[in-house]
Chain A
């Protein structure tokens, strides 16, 4: 048994043994809980354009200010400012806006689909669209991405057929993953999009391994991985940073700090004491802290990191400072742990609105076109959803044949899986004599 500390009674009676002050455990507590009035004035939002943009091959130790600051391009005036302005042409900006709007429309429809019982589960990325869409646009199409579950914007940006996404969400007979994976755990080798795992942060050191392999083979492709700030607490994230630094791997470690890990605020991942970008500094990794709701800053930071990796100058850690505007998933109700006001008070605004306003400010967009685009996005998702539903929805019988459950465990079916496959087919025949696809 452990040594027993003095009880409060002992202390009160002066029997604690000495006069040293009693220790106390600090348990982080978010600033606002349900019903609280939200005031985010403690968040330091620096002026857009005020941040230095060092050379892409610079020494990580010259970047300490950037790890504690916030790279911003789009100002309150909706104009692009400073050295991080990627100077994208209006057509590219409209494409970026279109992918973000499509991602949002997709989320809306799929969330509703879950509520309608068409599938078991869904997760939105509302408010974080720039951290996937804009960042992904700065990469080459064959750069390998190792995402978490909240980067659906990458698939949309890379042109992955939306029907494949919905087939996967519905686990229907068209699902390329054969109904084996929980909804949204996509995989597309063709789009250099790694298979999503439910186990948090495991993809981060895998991305580093992929990047090491690319370097071993003298390839020119780089890897990028995304992880939430909550999951940076996993040991895997430490391994990822360490291996990336030790082998100077051509990899970008994107941390999406959306303030919340289900019900736990970022303080439980260490945010009370430091920034997530600052961790990179400790490993000797170039580190940037970026306004995650500023699509231009997200693009510019990812491009900077990609250029650095391509030049063999090493890895970069990017913290995208953002806000998870919706619940964690369809199984979550955020009103149980945080104030509903947070979303409206979030000082960095909404990424879609900010890019829209920027384009309008440039004279390259207007509210009418935005409305038309949003409508078209919603119509497109609706149409594709209908097409996917023809392949079946979860639990309505249209799924992959039973025998496929046993395939791909190994390259070849060993005897014990052959026996179990035969058993499953026997059970099916007993339940539905002569019927149904086996």
Chain B
């Protein structure tokens, strides 16, 4: 790669600027684009309009139409063009408007982007970051709520990253864009504007009320493959990512459970050391994700914890997940792995 990275000013020390996740993502894109002329953004409605969630707002005006542009409604074409651009030497950041619509691009992701470095023995690479809003809790019904991360975790050659806070969203996205491997960056759209407790009948608190929305203005990175200890506790370990980090935090706070809540941040490659360390300390493990249960990423986590921490476990590993059904519309809150389902699992795992 002949990428020339430009210097940007160091972040101001002690800034207490608070922004939401959308603004954090927009800043990550802006900063990386200003540092590297080879970064291009493309996707449906990302250009002039600035994206249906506003994540790319203002970027076309700032960087021009040849670097930020709208595409035909063709996920296959978007991903494929990004693979070709990567082969040329660009660093594309394609957007798929909803993770539910990533499937037409799957052949290009699984058969091409993920395998290109391997099959060409490093001659060609696909240094692309596919951004896509994912997850439920917004009355999105079947096709605006899915969490397909397990499909990507199963593909050798892809990295999958899911932020849970504005601070992480910016630092992780910058890392993804600068990474030379293809990365799927899933943005939990439920928490774009504020963390979600799982209590859907309570008003949403905006990000600015939370410390994780303190985001430095300048360039910083959060390494891929490193989990974040969201809260520290001795009673059990909870493995979660995305929206569910905030839901389990709220449930634990309400029930007075003191848990190590590990926000995995990257599911491939996984921070196995952090998981082992925590489970060996607590002896109990609860896994929580929105995605459907069977062959979900929780199954992989459960298997790994069993293999590596078996003699430290004092109770069976529990999984709290979405049900094995398509994501329903009217019955969303019966489907969503909310406080009652999590509370029940906590009671069970702590009573063993």
Q: Which residues in A have some Cβ–Cβ distance to B below 8 Å?
A: 144, 146, 176-178, 180-181, 185, 187-189, 194-195, 197-199, 202, 204-217, 223, 235-236, 238-240, 242-243, 246, 408-411, 414-416
In the complex, B117 has a CB within 8 A of chain A: yes
A409 proximity list for chain B (CB < 8 A):
117-118, 156-157
In the complex, B14 has a CB within 8 A of chain A: no
In the complex, B89 has a CB within 8 A of chain A: yes
CB distance from B110 to the nearest CB of A (A): 9
In the complex, B76 has a CB within 8 A of chain A: yes
25 A-B interface contacts by CB (under 8 A): A187-B121, A189-B120, A189-B124, A197-B111, A208-B84, A209-B83, A209-B92, A210-B87, A210-B88, A213-B85, A214-B88, A216-B66, A223-B84, A236-B76, A239-B72, A239-B76, A242-B72, A409-B117, A410-B117, A410-B181, A410-B269, A411-B180, A414-B268, A416-B270, A416-B272
A239 touches B80 (CB 8 A): yes
Task: Name 14 extra pairs, CB < 8 A, besides A210-B84, A213-B88, A240-B80.
Answer: A144-B87, A177-B119, A187-B119, A189-B124, A195-B119, A197-B111, A197-B119, A205-B84, A209-B88, A216-B85, A236-B108, A240-B77, A242-B72, A409-B157
A204 proximity list for chain B (CB < 8 A):
80
B80 touches A206 (CB 8 A): yes
A211 proximity list for chain B (CB < 8 A):
84
Over the window 186-216 of chain B, the binary record of Cβ atoms lying under 8 Å from chain A Cβ atoms (1 yes, 0 no) is 0000000000000000000000000000000
A207 proximity list for chain B (CB < 8 A):
84
CB distance from A190 to the nearest CB of B (A): 8
In the complex, B131 has a CB within 8 A of chain A: no
CB distance from B145 to the nearest CB of A (A): 25
A209 proximity list for chain B (CB < 8 A):
80-85, 87-88, 92
In the complex, B256 has a CB within 8 A of chain A: no
In the complex, B74 has a CB within 8 A of chain A: yes
A206 proximity list for chain B (CB < 8 A):
80-81, 83-84, 87, 108, 112
Contact A235-B87, Cβ < 8 Å, known A197-B112, A216-B66: no
A185 touches B80 (CB 8 A): no
* Size range of the chain B interface in the assembly: 35 or more
* B74 CB contact (under 8 Å) in A215, A239, A414, A415: A239
Which positions 91-145 of chain B face chain A at CB distance < 8 Å?
Answer: 92, 104, 107-108, 111-112, 115-125
In the complex, B90 has a CB within 8 A of chain A: yes
A176 and B120 alpha carbons, distance in the complex (Å): 8
Query: Who on chain B is nearest to A219 by CB?
Result: B88
A180 and B116 alpha carbons, distance in the complex (Å): 11
In the complex, B67 has a CB within 8 A of chain A: yes
Query: Who on chain A is nearest to B84 by CB?
Result: A209
A415 and B77 alpha carbons, distance in the complex (Å): 33
B180 proximity list for chain A (CB < 8 A):
411
Which positions 191-248 of chain B face chain A at CB distance < 8 Å?
Answer: 225
Query: Who on chain A is nearest to B80 by CB?
Result: A205
CB distance from A232 to the nearest CB of B (A): 14
In the complex, B159 has a CB within 8 A of chain A: yes
B77 touches A242 (CB 8 A): yes
B156 proximity list for chain A (CB < 8 A):
409
A216 touches B77 (CB 8 A): no
In the complex, B305 has a CB within 8 A of chain A: no
B118 touches A212 (CB 8 A): no
Over the window 153-176 of chain B, the binary record of Cβ atoms lying under 8 Å from chain A Cβ atoms (1 yes, 0 no) is 000110100000000000000000
Contact A178-B121, Cβ < 8 Å, known A206-B83, A206-B84, A213-B88: yes
A243 touches B74 (CB 8 A): yes
B77 touches A177 (CB 8 A): no
